[in-house]
Amino acid sequence: MPAGKHILVLRFSAMGDVAMTAPVIKAALHQNPDITITFVSRPEFEDFFKGIPRLTFYGADFQTKYKGFAGLIKLFRALKKASDYYALADLHDTLRSKILRRLFRLSGLTYAFIDKGRPEKKLLTRYPGKVLKPLKPTAERYADVFRKLGLEIRLDNQLTRKPKVLQREVLDITGAKTKTWIGIAPFAKHKGKIYPLERTEQVLALLSEENIDIFLFGGSLLEEEICLAWEQKFANITTLVRKLTIEQELAVISNLDVMMSMDSAGMHLASLEGIPVVSVWGATHHYAGFLGYGQSEANIVADNIECRPCSVYGNKPCFRKDYACLYNITPETIAGKIAELIKHA
């Protein structure tokens, strides 16, 4: 690749998927010191990329300023005016990113886009006749886009822990760390990925018997209500839901010893901060490529029911109607896996 080139990168959502791009972007910049990157995503994800040298984050709000097709034209013009780019890397391959990359193509810009492996994922999730084999990790699919543009990039898939200093307003909520800190992120966008909440409460009851502090993570008003009830029920639990900014949440996560998460954003935020995760999988499967960067398969908790996985994202209703893939996992199994990781933290 010619020296001193600027690459425009697109990845708009979802939170976990955007977080998964960060270690790839870091590797691309570190291993190719002659490039710079402008990363375009939703404004709320900027904190994932703070402190990365030679990276400029461009927040694109598709609900207001860049809404609809006219908004995409406006975004294209703003980005085009901001810099001369060597190439465009589309890490999303959705309607929005396709429109943008084609607009840039008309202006003569080279681009490459992600191969999401949809045919392979259909074979992985069909039932009967499932082809149950590991597919390419999503981080490698992101890296492949840069490789198509001429960059050399190698991913080490290792966790790097760097605890951050907590601000006074955060410490007012968490208190100082005097014992083991465990994070619990029990929610996900789709039902097929959420461990039943009554059983999550049983996990919390088991963990509350230990000399540890537990912090709950979530986002919605309903999740806030659920976590407040758990906080009131168990002495060593503190809910952080809707109390902190993303940057502050990442700082707390960086000080955890272990995180428990569904196949959801919590796992990927922990990966950003180098924290090992006990990940609980229901309708989805890590073979689809979404295990957190640097996370170990040994820390996965899942049932091997023959119909699993039934979907890539957990958004399909359970055809059995009973979500056995989740209910077959006992609270004791999850609590035991967390205890095992605490010993080695």
Which residues share a beta bridge with 6?
A: 36
Give the angle 299-224-326 at the CA atoms, nearest 5°: 35
* Structural domain range at position 57: 5-148
- Residue 156 inside a domain? The answer is no
Cβ-based neighbours of 141, under 8 Å, separated by 6 or more: 114, 115, 116, 117, 289
Domain end (from 113, 148, 183): 148
Tokens of 68: 């609809």
Q: CA-CA distances (angstroms) from residue 135 to 119, 122, 286?
A: 11, 11, 9
- Residue 158 inside a domain? The answer is no
Coil, strand or helix at 129: coil
Whether 334 and 188 map to the same domain: the answer is: yes
Q: Which residue has the tokens 């209910």?
A: 327
- Residue 100 inside a domain? The answer is yes
Whether 189 and 276 map to the same domain: the answer is: yes
Whether 50 and 173 map to the same domain: the answer is: no
Domain end (from 148, 181, 204): 148
Q: How far apart are CA 340 and CA 336, in angstroms?
A: 6
Domain end (from 148, 179, 194): 148
Whether 177 and 62 map to the same domain: the answer is: no
pLDDT in tens, 25-54: 999 999 999 999 999 999 999 999 999 999
- Residue 298 inside a domain? The answer is yes
Domain at 291, CATH number? 3.40.50.2000
Whether 32 and 80 map to the same domain: the answer is: yes
Instruction: Quote the pLDDT of residue 2.
Output: 44
pLDDT in tens, 92-125: 999 999 999 999 999 999 999 999 999 999 999 9
Whether 192 and 243 map to the same domain: the answer is: yes
- Residue 174 inside a domain? The answer is yes
Whether 214 and 111 map to the same domain: the answer is: no
Whether 143 and 282 map to the same domain: the answer is: no
Whether 206 and 336 map to the same domain: the answer is: yes
172-175: long-range contacts, CB 8 A cutoff, minimum separation 24: 173/238, 173/240, 173/243, 173/244, 174/213, 174/215, 174/238, 174/240, 174/252, 175/213, 175/238
Which residues share a beta bridge with 214?
A: 182, 237
| CB atoms inside a 10 Å sphere around CB 132 | 13
- Residue 287 inside a domain? The answer is yes
Percent of residues in the chain assigned helix, strand, coil, to nearest 5: 40, 15, 45
On whether the CB atoms of residues 279 and 267 are closer than 8 A, the answer is yes
Whether 287 and 338 map to the same domain: the answer is: yes
H/E stretch holding 225: helix 221-233
- Residue 30 inside a domain? The answer is yes
| CB atoms inside a 10 Å sphere around CB 43 | 11
Coil, strand or helix at 102: helix
Mean pLDDT of the chain: 97
- Residue 329 has what DSSP assignment? S
Whether 127 and 201 map to the same domain: the answer is: no
% of the chain residues with pLDDT over 90: 98
Instruction: Quote the pLDDT of residue 1.
Output: 41
Tokens of 232: 């009131």
Instruction: Quote the pLDDT of residue 327.
Output: 98
Whether 95 and 203 map to the same domain: the answer is: no
- Residue 230 inside a domain? The answer is yes
Instruction: Quote the pLDDT of residue 343.
Output: 87
pLDDT in tens, 115-160: 999 999 999 999 999 999 999 999 999 999 999 999 999 999 999 9
Cβ-based neighbours of 71, under 8 Å, separated by 6 or more: 62, 65
What is the count of structural domains for the chain? 2
